[in-house]
C-alpha cells in the first residue's frame, strides 16, 4: 500500500519479504491529497502478466480523477470521475463487479451521472477492493466565508474511530490540526488567530485523505 510521502507501492509475500516496489512518483500528484491505490491485480483490467492498479487522486477544487496504470507506468485508462463507494447498500459497495455480461467498472461524475465500463479481465476473490478515501465524507464549512467561528461536517469510515481535520494555506503549509472522532458529526473551529485569506482543509484517517474543501477567512 502507499504511505504519505513514500511515492511507491511495496508488495510483500506471505513471509513478509519484499517482492516488488512500484513507483508512482511520475504520476499526477496533489500537494494536499494522498492518492488511493485500489484493485492491485494482474488480470483484471487486461489479460497480460504485468501488475496493474487503479490510481485515484483529487485536486484542491475537490475534483476526483481515476486512472488505471500498469507497473511499468503505462496508462490504460483516465477519466475525471470517482469510484464512489456506497456505505449503506452492501450490494453496491464497490465500483467493480463480475456480471453475466463480463466484468464491469462503475465510475461516478460530479454532475450526478455514472458510467459503466467493460474490463478485459475478471475480478478475483483475492483482489483488495476497499479504499478509505471515499468511505468517509467531508462537508462544506458554514458559514463560509468566516470571520470568527465555522462548523465543518464530517463522517468517519465505518471501521475508523478517529481522524484529523487539517487546515492548510494556499502554499500547502499546515496551519491547524484538529482531532475528531465518532462522538460528533461536526467540528467547530475558531479562525480568530488565522490571518484573512484562502485556506483548504481535508479529513485524514489512518494516513488517507478524504476530500479537499476551501475555506475563506475574512476580517
pLDDT, tens digit (0-9, with 9 covering 90-100), for 47-80: 898 999 999 888 877 788 999 999 999 999 999 9
Q: Determine which helix (DSSP H) or strand (DSSP E) holds 186, and give its type and residue range.
A: strand 186-190
Give the mean model confidence (pLDDT) for residues 40-52. 90
Q: Cβ-count burial of 115 within 10 angstroms (0-12 exposed, 13-18 middle, 19+ buried)?
A: exposed
pLDDT at 104 over 70: yes
What pLDDT shows up at residue 1?
38
Give the mean model confidence (pLDDT) for residues 191-216. 86
pLDDT at 159 over 50: yes
Contact 170, 201 (CB under 8 A): no
Core vs surface per residue 66-105: b (16+ CB within 10 A) or e: bbbbbbeeeeebeeebbbebeeeeeeeebbbeeeeeebeb
Nearest-angstrom CA–CA distance, 168 and 200: 5
Give the mean model confidence (pLDDT) for residues 122-137. 60
Return the SS3 of 90: helix
Nearest-angstrom CA–CA distance, 18 and 22: 11
Contact 131, 36 (CB under 8 A): yes
Closest by CA position to 165, among listed 201, 135, 206: 201
pLDDT at 90 over 50: no
Nearest-angstrom CA–CA distance, 64 and 82: 6
Nearest-angstrom CA–CA distance, 94 and 76: 20
Q: Cβ-count burial of 209 within 10 angstroms (0-12 exposed, 13-18 middle, 19+ buried)?
A: buried
Give the mean model confidence (pLDDT) for residues 77-103. 74
Give the mean model confidence (pLDDT) for residues 150-163. 87
What pLDDT shows up at residue 136?
72
What pLDDT shows up at residue 151?
95
Amino acid at each position: 500500500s502507499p504511505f504519505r510521502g513514500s511515492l511507491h507501492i511495496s508488495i510483500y509475500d506471505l513471509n513478509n519479504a519484499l517482492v516488488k516496489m512500484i513507483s508512482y512518483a511520475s504520476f499526477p500528484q496533489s500537494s494536499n491529497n494522498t492518492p488511493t491505490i485500489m484493485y492491485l491485480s494482474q488480470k483484471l483490467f487486461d489479460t497480460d502478466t504485468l501488475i496493474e492498479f487503479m490510481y485515484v487522486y483529487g485536486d484542491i477544487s475537490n475534483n476526483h480523477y481515476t486512472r488505471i496504470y500498469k507497473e511499468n507506468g503505462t496508462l490504460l485508462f483516465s477519466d475525471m470521475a470517482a469510484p464512489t463507494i456506497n456505505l449503506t447498500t452492501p450490494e453496491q459497495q464497490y465500483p467493480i463487479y463480475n456480471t453475466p455480461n463480463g466484468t464491469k467498472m462503475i465510475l461516478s461524475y460530479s454532475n450526478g451521472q455514472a458510467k459503466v465500463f467493460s474490463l478485459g479481465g475478471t475480478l478475483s476473490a483475492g483482489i483488495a477492493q476497499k479504499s478509505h478515501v471515499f468511505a468517509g465524507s467531508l462537508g462544506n464549512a458554514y458559514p463560509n466565508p468566516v470571520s470568527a467561528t465555522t462548523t465543518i461536517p464530517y463522517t468517519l469510515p465505518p471501521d475508523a474511530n478517529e481522524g484529523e481535520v487539517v487546515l492548510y494555506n494556499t502554499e500547502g503549509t499546515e496551519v491547524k490540526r484538529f482531532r475528531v472522532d465518532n462522538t460528533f458529526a461536526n467540528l467547530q473551529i475558531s479562525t480568530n488567530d488565522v490571518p484573512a485569506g484562502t485556506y483548504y482543509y481535508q479529513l485524514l484517517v489512518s494516513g488517507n485523505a478524504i476530500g479537499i474543501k476551501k475555506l475563506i477567512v475574512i476580517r
